[in-house]
Amino acid sequence: MTRQEMEEWTAALEGGEYKQGKSKLRWFDDTYCCLGVKCDLDDKSMWTLSEDGDYYTWNGSSAFLIPINDDIFIENGINVYNLMVMNDGGFSFSEIAAYIRENYKETV
């Protein structure tokens, strides 16, 4: 993830356009996990409504941002697992955006 992508993501989390949801990347009512916001910014065409119509998957996933480092769940210094726990644990999008900014590391 580039610095620009990180800044777009955090701006989207704080911008008020996305409503926060839990447990899935995106629900049928267009509530999003913080990771779902990142997916939406990356490629809106990757969303597919689940068979039961309750939630969407993004590139076949319903709960994790793809791609991530599978073994440790870290991307550019950001612990993606922590983001999931923060989102589902009641942290606001603004608090999550602050965590992302504080922990982001530029890769060479």
Residue 101, CA atoms < 13 Å, CB-side half-sphere: 14
Say what the pTM is: 0.88
Q: At 31, give phi and psi (nearest 5°).
A: -100, 145
Within 8 A by CB and 6+ apart from 31, the residues are 19, 20, 21
Question: Whole-angstrom Cα distance, residue 93 to residue 108?
Answer: 28
pLDDT at 81: 84
pLDDT at 72: 52
pLDDT at 73: 64
pLDDT (tens place) for every residue of the chain, 108 residues total = 889 999 999 999 999 999 999 999 999 999 999 999 999 999 999 999 999 999 999 988 887 655 555 545 677 888 888 899 999 999 999 999 999 999 999 876
- 70 C-beta neighbours (distance < 10 Å), count: 8
